Structure 1
């Protein structure tokens, strides 16, 4: 296995704003299609080699499709989680208890922003490969990550959700 491959997945370059793919709604996909199963593996491999990354969506690797992965298990803000998972064609079924918190994004590497999102969430999507329907209940940090990635699939960045310039911050760099 080369450094650019991981468990069947390839590490892909991450596109940055203002790349137009980031502002286009992604296409619905067939979760059983071979190329979608490969994309799922590629997203996970790319997320794994990216320090601090807890989720990655297909538009962030230049593919306009409704596919993303999430894994918040190692993040210090995580309370509960579902481990590593990939969802296709995900949608929010219910969302409650809005809270504001700071977010960052690999596609917007120099900024973070204060974004209000639901802290309890129910999401429905489909597993790549089997195509099985999945319904996830998420809270707190994992709920925020899910909403962030679903936004990517809908052509939105966290920048579209901040209240204004006062809610944007230069990303801190730790040496």
Structure 2
């Protein structure tokens, strides 16, 4: 696994709709492994192919805590419901944080690295991360959905307060 350079805004590729994955081969496997390594190195929860310069519909989310990373290739949203506003950040926008409203439940259909299809349901934080990464595949950036930006000082204070609880 190699660590790749994370593409940061205003790079043009971040706002382009990605093309579907059609070849499920070793090249795709290497890309997914590299994406995972890059995400972990950057202390991220999710990463999408355009964030490493690849314009294909592939993304990964990893919630840690003994869970396997979720690889989403050609993901499709089947159902979403509810609404929750919470804080988000993005590896392609270092130091930028803001409140974004998203559905708090999603059901998706996606492919594994071998091409087989699966369905997944997620709620809360997991649903948020999945939607954030799926947005990347459509060239949609979280900054276009932010209702209120949060400064680094505000974020530090929130994290300090959370640690005290």
TM normalised by structure 2 equals 0.88
Task: Tell me which moved more, 31-40 or 99-108.
Answer: 31-40
Deviation of 1:170 (Å): 2.3
2: CA distance between counterparts of 1:26 and 1:50?
23
Give the length in aligned residue pairs.
156
Q: 1:68: which partner in 2?
A: 59
**Aligned ranges for residues 14-163 of structure 1 at < 5 Å?**
14-30=6-22, 32-51=24-43, 53-74=44-65, 83-128=68-113, 130-163=114-147
1: CA distance between counterparts of 2:83 and 2:64?
22
Kindly provide the CA deviation profile for residues 47-105 of structure 1, in whole angstroms up to 9, marking residues without a partner as x. Answer: 12122x1000001011111101101134xxxxxx9531211110111001110001000
Unaligned runs of 5+ in 1: 1-8, 75-80
Q: Secondary structure at the match of 1:43?
A: helix
Structure holding more strand per residue? 1
Unaligned runs of 5+ in 2: 160-165
Q: 2:163: which partner in 1?
A: none
Structure 1 runs of 4+ aligned residues shifted over 3 Å read: 171-174
Deviation of 1:30 (Å): 2.1
Q: Secondary structure at the match of 2:110?
A: strand
Deviation of 1:31 (Å): 5.1
Correspondence for 2:149 among 154, 168, 175: 168
Deviation of 1:169 (Å): 1.9
Structure holding more helix per residue? 2
